[in-house]
Amino acid sequence: MDHLTLLLFISFIFFILFFIFQTRSSQSAAKNPPGPRPLPIIGNILELGTLPHQSLTNLSRTYGPVMTLKLGRTTTVVISSPQAAKEVLQKKDHAFSFRTIPDTIRAHDHDQISVVWMPPSSQWRVLKRICVTEVFSAHRLDSTQTRRQRKLQDLLNYVDEFCRNGEALDISDAVFTTVLNSISNTFFSMDLARYTSDKSQEFKDIIWGIMEEAGRPNVVDFFPVLRVLDPQRARSRMMSHFGKLFAFFDGLIEERLRFVGLEMEFKRFNDVLDSLMQLMMNENPQVSRPQVLHLFLDLFVAGIDTTSSTIEWAMAELLRNPEKMKIAKDELRQILREDEQLEEFHISRLPFLRAIVKETMRLHPSLPLLVPHKTEDEAELCGCFVVPKNAHVLINAWAIGRDPNVYDDPNQFKPERFMDNEIDFKGHDFELIPFGAGRRICPGLPLANRTVHIVLASLLYHYDWKNPNGFKAEDMDMSEMYGISLHKAIPLKAIPIKA
């Protein structure tokens, strides 16, 4: 074969391969979920806005419940229906159970050790099992209930002061301190703040800082080549936030280790820290000290932030809907004898209160886009779409909760909608997934479930509430502030009146 013939043959082969590649690429692109046309280089970044869960909800009305966006160099698929969410989180969760890692989460290598962010692996399964059996088991939570009960009484004592003075209570701050101390007593057998101290605000600033940095748009996440520069200094700020909490947790471990030689003393706390340290100090340790530190960071930050914000949103909705508050208060009075103490076991006998919590989580999910997922390989979705390899996958729980095809009057606060059905937020009903579902469901759900209900019930049972300064209920500002979690932009204040 002469050189000319060989050149023609090679050119023909390259032409055929190029044609096949282009055809396959076109076919693959045709199967990608629809979405808005991206701009050069930046893609659809500008369409996210400051409240991305709302922006993505509006886009889904045009492009459907499964849509594609280009955010810089990354392909992002957004899920906005229960059916598609079920396929991602349950039916095909093996394909979608990896995590998209925001650059800020790489601070202190948290993404490599965190039970929330690390990929599904043997190490992740060990940490998840520890969460289920040692941290959030029914036995563990029952054994620490009296500590949480004492924190409730502290809250009531604090609110009583505002009753006597006729002053407006900052519900946001009061609830945050209560949840902070409730969780710290469950984990560490200690209070971390007083209602009138700066310590509570210090923890609040750190925790909100972490949630804000994890959710705030960061140019590095859209253009990974800039990672080494950290141009917005976001990872640097996260290093500081993480470092403060790691130093605090490590100090608690060091202090507890002083009791190691005194077995009776070491076991006397009977809290989560005791359990994890015993696992850490076994002859064949199941968990390392760094893993304990990172596990506490995950559970402490997410548990306090999401639980306290849910209670605040619930109180805000009830102040806007006083007729719903009255139903809840009447229900509480029916099941409790005079001077009987409200306890966690009463919650199962309060269907309307539970409906209020579900309705709050529907309208105001703590993580409106959940924790982001990622595909390791190309995956088929809904029988007609192909999600590319390494695509970011966002589940818009906020959009699902406000979908008119799922709920009647979706923007109205109507707890009674949950009185006639069995829909719950524990991962089986994809119409309501504030904690996610499937293998990556939030491990802290059992404690959050108890804490939200009992704190809310206590505030309703012991007090009547009115808006300060003569504000009308319908005029209350319900605007949102977005980090990775969803907060009320203007903290809630109300005047308590002894019931």
Residue 262: pLDDT band with limits 50, 70, 90: low
Mean predicted confidence (pLDDT) in 197-207: 91
Name residues whose C-beta falls within 8 Å of residue 142's C-beta, 6 or more positions apart in sequence. none
User: In whole numbers, what is the pLDDT of the chain averaged over residues?
Assistant: 91
Strand residues in 346-469 grouped as ranges (E): 373-374, 379-381, 385-387, 392-395, 463-466
pLDDT tops 80 at residue 52: yes
Higher pLDDT, 9 or 59: 59
Task: Round to whole Å and give the CA distance between 326 and 348.
Answer: 19
pLDDT above 60 for 267: no
Q: What percent of the chain has pLDDT over 70?
A: 92
Average of pLDDT values for 159-177? 96
User: In the prediction, which pLDDT does 108 show?
Assistant: 98
Above 50 in pLDDT, residue 25? no
pLDDT attached to residue 415: 98
Q: What's the length of the chain? A: 499
**Residues forming a β-bridge with 494:** 169
Which amino acid makes up residue 426? K
Each residue of 403-450: pLDDT tens digit? 999 999 999 999 999 998 889 999 999 999 999 999 999 999 999 999
- Residue 110's pLDDT band (cuts 50, 70, 90): very high
Confidence at 471, pLDDT banded by 50, 70, 90: confident
**In this predicted model, what pLDDT tens digit does every residue of 213-233 receive, in sequence order?**
999 899 999 999 999 999 999
pLDDT at res. 46: 95
Would you state the pLDDT for residue 197?
A: 84
Note the pLDDT of residue 14.
Answer: 40
The whole-number pLDDT of residue 465 equals 96
Q: Mean of the pLDDT values across residues 153-161?
A: 97
Please give the Cα distance from 118 to 98 (Å, whole number). Answer: 8
Q: CA–CA separation, 441 vs 141, rounded Å?
A: 19
Q: Is the pLDDT of residue 295 over 90?
A: yes
- The reported pLDDT for the residue numbered 257 is 86
Q: Is the pLDDT of residue 253 over 90?
A: yes
Determine the pLDDT at residue 339.
77
- Range 132-136 average pLDDT: 94
Confidence (pLDDT) at 125: 96
Residue 338: per-residue pLDDT: 77
In the chain, the percentage of residues whose pLDDT exceeds 90 is 83
Q: Give me the pLDDT at residue 198, please.
A: 87
Please tell me the least confidently modeled range out of 30-34, 45-49, 302-306: 30-34
What whole-number distance in Å separates Cα of residue 26 and Cα of residue 407? 38
Match 């036995």 to its residue by tokens: 139
The pLDDT value recorded for residue 259 is 72
What domains can you pick out in the chain, each with its CATH number? 23-498 (1.10.630.10)
Q: How far is CA 33 from CA 30, 377, 387, in A?
A: 8, 16, 8
Angle between helices 351-363 and 289-320 (to 10 degrees): 100
Q: Provide the 3-class DSSP secondary structure of residue 68.
A: strand
Can you give 145-202 as a three-state secondary structure string? HHHHHHHHHHHHHHHHHHHHHCCCEEHHHHHHHHHHHHHHHHHHCCCCCCCCCHHHHH
* Residue 261 binned pLDDT confidence (cut-offs 50, 70, 90): low
pLDDT of residue 12: 42
Task: Kindly state the tokens that stand for 453.
Answer: 């209900």
Q: Tell whether the model's pLDDT for residue 2 goes beyond 80.
A: no
